[in-house]
């Protein structure tokens, strides 16, 4: 069973990731087609390819500061470039010889990768893991200026699905989920981020 596997909405050229922001950041990004002020390039920004993990994190776009959910379509080349710079947030022995090797690499990392429990549509934890990718300030400009292809507002979808779930209409809500499927990673990248190969 592949517990550490990237599942995402993707095609030949792109992969979709999600972020949740306060309205002023989301509105500016949607109007500009990319992240602009008041988005900060000096902070680490976390991108997540799992829609349901994002929904758990932002409470279906209801939590303060996370009222707007954006779907950001980025190039696969950019996504894989980010992963090529990534260091896990913990010293996984499948990846690092020891804790000291991990500490040295983590201290200078441009990108961080964390695996968290994937979620069911009702927020329950699954054994499978969902990846989060943290882009540091030295690489976030590439994400904004070069990798981003489009930005779309998924807040209405989040609210609609949330209403259906509250009404007990789980099957209808599930039919609205993005069609995420395993993302094929080169072996070297898979090892770097602790992902399981098929």
* pLDDT tens digits, one per residue of 99-139: 999 999 999 999 999 999 999 999 999 999 999 999 999 99
Specify if 195 maps to a domain.
Answer: no
Report pTM: 0.95
Structure-derived torsion over alpha carbons of residues 2, 198, 78, 16, reported in degrees to the nearest 10 = -60
Specify if 100 maps to a domain.
Answer: yes
For tokens 């893991």, the residue is: 129
Indicate the number of domains in the chain.
1
Q: Average pLDDT in the 163-183 region?
A: 98
Token reading at 9: 């909405």
Burial class (CB in 10 A: 0-12, 13-18, 19+), 171: exposed
Relative to beta strand 14-21, strand 111-119 is unpaired
Specify if 174 maps to a domain.
Answer: yes
Closest by Cα among 122, 136, 135, 159 to 72: 135
pLDDT for 1 beyond 80: no
Specify if 1 maps to a domain.
Answer: no
Q: How many residues does the chain have?
A: 198
pLDDT for 198 beyond 80: no
* Integer CA distances (angstroms), 119 to 12, 35, 93, in order: 26, 28, 25
Around 141, how many Cα atoms within 13 Å sit in the side-chain half-sphere?
3
Percent of the chain surpassing pLDDT 90: 94
Specify if 198 maps to a domain.
Answer: no
Give the domain range for residue 130.
7-190
Angle between helices 51-58 and 155-166 (to 10 degrees): 80
pLDDT for 20 beyond 80: yes
Q: What is the pLDDT of residues 70-85, one digit of tens each?
A: 999 999 999 999 999 9
The per-residue pLDDT for 53 is 97
pLDDT band for position 93 (50/70/90)? confident
Specify if 196 maps to a domain.
Answer: no
How far apart, in whole angstroms, are the C-alpha atoms of residue 72 and residue 148? 7
The per-residue pLDDT for 69 is 98
């Amino acid at each position: 069973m592949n517990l550490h596997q990237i599942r995402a909405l993707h095609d030949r050229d792109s992969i979709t990731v999600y972020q949740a922001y306060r309205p002023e950041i989301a509105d500016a990004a949607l109007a500009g087609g990319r992240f602009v002020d008041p988005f900060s390039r000096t902070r680490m920004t976390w991108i997540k390819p799992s829609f349901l993990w994002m929904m758990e994190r932002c409470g279906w776009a209801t939590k303060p500061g996370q009222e707007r959910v954006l779907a950001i379509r980025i190039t696969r080349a950019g996504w894989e470039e980010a992963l090529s710079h990534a260091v896990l947030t913990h010293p996984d022995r499948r990846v690092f010889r020891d804790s000291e090797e991990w500490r040295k690499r983590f201290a200078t990392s441009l990108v961080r990768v964390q695996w968290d429990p994937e979620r069911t549509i009702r927020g329950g934890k699954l054994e499978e893991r969902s990846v989060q990718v943290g882009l540091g300030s030295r690489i976030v400009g590439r994400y904004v200026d070069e990798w981003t292809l489009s930005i779309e507002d998924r807040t209405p979808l989040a609210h609609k699905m949330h209403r259906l779930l509250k009404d007990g209409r789980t099957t209808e809500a599930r039919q609205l989920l993005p069609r995420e499927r395993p993302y094929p990673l080169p072996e070297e990248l898979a090892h770097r981020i602790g992902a399981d190969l098929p």
